C-alpha cells in the first residue's frame, strides 16, 4: 500500500528541487532578509520605551488593527512591535511564494504535458503532488528555521528564543497552509493560471474576512500567535494540522479526476467576437483587461491604506504638544498636507508599473510570435503600436486618478480636517507628464531595441530610489533630476512649474516619434 501510493516520490522530490533550487534560494533569501533588517531599523527609529508607547498610541484604532492585527499595546516592546508590524505582511509574502511554487510544481507540469511523460514511468499517481508537498515542507521549514535563528541572533532583549522560534514557525506554517490550498486549487482549476488565480482569491478573501472577524483562518490564526508576548504555540499547531487536512483533501480530489482535467470545467466562451474586439485597440484591451482591473483595485486599496494612515498622523501630532508647537510655524498647510506630495509620488511610481506593463505587452506578443497574424492583415504597424501606447496612457491616467480617489476617501473618513478632492487629484495628476515620459521610453525601446525593454524597469527603480530615499540619504539634486519624477512639482506645497511640464512632454514626444519611426522600419521577429 505504501509503495503503491508513494512509489517514486522521493526521486521526484529530488528532481523538483534540482529544477528550482535557485528559485527557492532567492525567495528564502528575500523573505529572510526582509525580516532581519526590520528590528534594527525599528530599534533605531524608536529607541526608548516612550517612543514605542507613542507609536502604540497611534495603533489603537480599528483601521490599524484591521490592517496588521491585534497586539499587546500596553507592553509595546521591540519584539511585540516587530511581530505586530511585520508578521501578517511577511505571512502574505510567504503565502504568495507557496502559491506560485506549488502551482508551478503541479498544474503547470500537467498543463505543459510534462506530467504525462512522468506518469508513464513507474511512479504512483499521487507522487507528483506528494513530492511537491514534501519539497515545500522542506522549503518552509528551512525558511522558518532561518528566520528564527536570524531574529534570535540579533540579540535584542525583548526577542527571546521561544518568541523567535514561534515567529519563524508561524511563517513556515502559514506557508504550508497555502501550499495545501494551492494543491487543492490545482485539482479544481483546469489551468495553472486558474489555480494561481483561485489561490490568490482564497488568500485575499481570507485576509479581508480576518479584518472583520479576528479568528478567521488562516491569517486570523497567524495573528493569534503573537510572538514575544502571548507566544501562542497552539495557533501554530492549528495551522500545521489545518494544512495537513487540506493536503489530504487535495490527494482525494486528485485520485478522482483524469490527468489534465479539473473539477471546475472551463466555461465555453463566445462563438463570435464582440463589437469591442474588432480593432487593434480592442485586442489590446482584451489582452490586458484582467491586469487592468486588478491593478485599478490594487491601487485603490493601497491608496486607501495610505489615506487611513494620514488620520493617525493627524492624531499623533495633535496629541503631542511638542510636535504641535512645531507645526504652528506654517499655519496655512497642515502637517498631513506636507506629507501629501510624498505619498502621491510613491503612488505615482507604483502606478507607473501597470502603464509600462501595458505597453510591454506588445513586445511580449512579438516574442510569442503572434504579430505576423495581425500585421499580415490590413493593420499598419503605427496603428498597432499606437493602440498599445494609448492603452498605457489610459492606464497611467486611471492609476493616478484611482490613487487620488482612494487616498481622498480614506482620508475623508479618518481625518478631522479632510482634504478637498481637487487638492488630492491635482497632487496626483501632476505626475502624469513623468509617467508619459516613462511610457515613451518603453515605446522607444520597443522600436529601437526590442530585446532590451527590461531596461526601463531599472530606470523606474532609479526613480524609486531618488524619490523615496533621496531625502533620507540626502542625494544631490542632480541625481534626482536624472529621473523624470524629479521634475514633478510637489503640489499642493509647491507652485506648479509649467516649464518642467513642457520639458517632460517635449522629451516624451521626441522619444515617441523615434520609437514609432524605428518600429515602422525594422524587421518583426518571427
Partner 1 sequence: MNVIEMNQVTKVFGKHHALDGLDLAVKSGEVFGFIGPNGAGKSTTIRVLLGMLRATNGSATIFGKDVWRDAVEIHRRIAYVPGDVNLWPQLTGGEVIDLFASLQGQMNERKRDELLARFQLDPTKKCRTYSKGNRQKVALVAAFASDAELFLLDEPTSGLDPLMENIFQQCVAEVKAEGKTVLLSSHILSEVEKLCDRVGIIRQGRLIECGTLNELRHLTRMRLTVETRVPIESLASWKGVHSVEQTNTGWAFQADADEMEAIMRKLSEHGIQKIESASPTLEDLFMRHYEETVESRKA
Q: Return the residues of window 284-313 that contact partner 1 according to CB under 8 A.
A: 286-287
Output the DSSP codes for 133-202. HHHHHHHHHHHHHHHHHHHHHT--TT--HHHHHHHHHHHHHHHHHHHHHHHHHHHHSSSHHHHHHHHHHH
Q: Residue 121: how many CB atoms within 10 A of its CB?
A: 11
Handedness of CA 309, 221, 247, 86 (dihedral sign): positive
C-alpha distances in angstroms, 68 versus 16, 84, 191, 211? 35, 7, 33, 9
Question: Number of residues in contact with partner 1, rule: CB under 8 A?
Answer: 35
Q: Residue 379 or residue 394: which is nearer to partner 1 going by CB?
A: 379
- Please, what is the minimum distance in Å from the beta carbon of residue 372 to partner 1? 6
Exactly one of 11, 278, 318, 451 binds partner 1 (CB under 8 A); which one?
278
Please select the residue that binds partner 1; options are 118, 240, 277, 394, rule is CB under 8 A: 277
Give whichever of 18 and 368 is closer to partner 1, judged by the CB atom: 368
Site string for partner 1, 233-272 (x = CB under 8 A): ---------------------------------x-xxxxx
Q: Closest CB to partner 1 among 321 and 523?
A: 523
Taking the complex as a whole, the smallest distance from the CB of residue 189 to partner 1 amounts, in Å, to 12
> Is-contact 387 280, C-beta < 8 A?
yes
**Taking the CA atoms of the chain, what radius of gyration do you get in angstroms?**
26
Q: How far is the CB of 520 from partner 1 (least distance, A)?
A: 10
Quick check: 159 and 152 in contact, CB under 8 A? yes
Binding mask 356-395 for partner 1 (x = CB under 8 A): ------------xxxxxxxxxxxxx---------------
Give min distance, CB of 365 to partner 1, in A. 9
CA distance 349 to 400: 10
Rounded distance between C-alpha atoms, residue 156 and residue 168, angstroms: 16
> 282 vs 298, which CB is nearer to partner 1?
282
Which residue stretch of 9-17, 245-253, 279-287, 484-492 sits at the interface with partner 1 (rule: CB under 8 A)?
A: 279-287
What's the CA gap between 501 and 34, in Å, rounded? 37
Binding track over 173-202 against partner 1, x by CB under 8 A = ------------------x-----------
Contact footprint for partner 1 (CB under 8 A): 191, 266, 268-274, 277-280, 282-283, 286-287, 368-380, 521-524, 526
Amino acid at each position: 500500500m505504501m509503495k503503491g501510493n508513494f512509489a517514486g516520490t522521493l526521486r521526484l522530490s529530488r528532481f523538483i528541487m534540482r529544477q528550482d533550487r535557485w528559485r527557492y534560494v532567492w525567495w528564502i533569501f528575500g523573505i529572510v532578509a526582509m525580516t532581519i533588517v526590520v528590528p534594527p531599523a525599528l530599534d533605531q527609529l524608536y529607541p526608548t520605551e516612550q517612543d514605542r508607547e507613542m507609536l502604540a498610541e497611534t495603533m489603537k484604532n480599528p483601521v490599524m488593527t484591521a490592517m496588521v492585527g491585534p497586539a499587546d499595546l500596553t507592553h509595546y516592546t521591540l519584539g511585540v512591535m516587530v511581530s505586530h508590524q511585520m508578521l501578517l505582511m511577511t505571512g502574505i509574502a510567504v503565502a504568495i511564494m507557496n502559491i506560485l511554487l506549488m502551482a508551478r510544481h503541479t498544474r503547470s507540469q500537467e498543463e505543459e504535458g510534462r506530467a504525462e511523460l512522468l506518469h508513464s514511468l513507474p511512479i504512483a499517481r499521487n507522487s507528483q503532488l506528494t513530492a511537491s508537498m514534501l519539497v515545500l515542507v522542506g522549503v518552509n521549514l528551512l525558511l522558518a528555521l532561518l528566520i528564527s535563528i536570524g531574529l534570535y541572533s540579533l540579540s535584542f532583549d525583548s526577542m527571546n528564543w521561544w518568541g523567535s522560534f514561534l515567529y519563524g514557525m508561524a511563517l513556515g506554517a502559514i506557508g504550508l497552509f497555502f501550499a495545501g490550498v494551492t494543491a487543492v486549487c490545482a485539482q479544481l482549476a483546469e489551468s495553472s493560471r486558474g489555480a494561481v488565480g483561485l489561490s490568490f482569491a482564497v488568500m485575499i478573501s481570507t485576509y479581508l474576512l480576518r479584518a472583520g472577524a479576528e479568528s478567521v483562518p488562516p491569517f486570523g490564526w497567524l495573528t493569534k500567535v503573537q510572538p514575544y508576548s502571548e507566544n501562542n504555540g497552539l495557533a501554530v499547531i492549528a495551522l500545521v494540522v489545518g494544512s495537513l487536512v487540506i493536503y489530504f483533501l487535495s490527494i482525494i480530489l486528485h485520485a478522482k479526476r483524469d490527468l489534465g482535467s479539473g473539477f471546475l470545467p472551463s466555461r465555453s466562451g463566445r462563438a463570435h467576437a464582440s463589437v469591442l474586439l474588432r480593432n487593434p485597440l480592442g485586442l489590446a484591451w482584451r489582452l490586458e483587461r484582467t491586469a487592468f482591473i486588478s491593478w485599478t483595485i490594487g491601487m485603490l486599496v493601497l491608496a486607501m491604506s495610505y489615506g487611513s494612515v494620514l488620520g493617525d498622523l493627524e492624531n499623533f501630532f495633535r496629541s503631542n504638544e511638542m510636535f504641535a508647537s512645531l507645526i504652528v510655524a506654517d499655519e496655512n498647510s497642515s502637517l498631513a498636507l506636507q506629507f501629501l506630495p510624498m505619498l502621491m509620488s510613491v503612488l505615482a511610481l507604483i502606478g507607473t508599473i501597470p502603464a509600462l506593463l501595458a505597453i510591454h505587452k506588445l513586445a511580449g506578443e512579438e516574442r510569442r510570435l503572434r504579430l505576423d497574424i495581425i500585421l499580415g492583415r490590413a493593420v499598419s504597424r503605427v496603428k498597432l503600436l499606437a493602440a498599445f501606447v494609448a492603452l498605457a496612457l489610459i492606464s497611467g491616467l486611471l492609476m493616478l486618478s484611482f490613487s487620488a480617489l482612494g487616498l481622498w476617501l480614506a482620508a475623508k473618513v479618518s481625518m478631522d480636517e479632510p482634504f478637498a478632492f481637487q487638492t488630492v487629484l491635482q497632487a496626483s495628476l501632476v505626475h502624469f507628464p513623468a509617467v508619459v515620459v516613462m511610457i515613451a521610453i518603453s515605446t522607444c525601446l520597443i522600436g529601437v531595441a526590442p530585446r532590451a525593454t527590461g531596461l526601463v524597469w531599472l530606470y523606474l527603480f532609479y526613480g524609486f530610489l531618488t524619490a523615496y530615499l533621496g531625502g533620507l540619504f540626502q542625494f544631490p539634486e542632480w541625481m534626482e533630476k536624472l529621473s523624470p519624477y524629479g521634475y514633478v512639482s510637489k503640489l499642493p506645497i509647491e507652485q506648479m512649474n509649467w516649464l518642467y511640464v513642457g520639458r517632460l512632454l517635449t522629451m516624451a514626444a521626441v522619444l515617441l516619434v523615434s520609437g514609432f519611426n524605428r518600429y515602422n522600419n525594422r524587421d518583426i521577429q518571427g
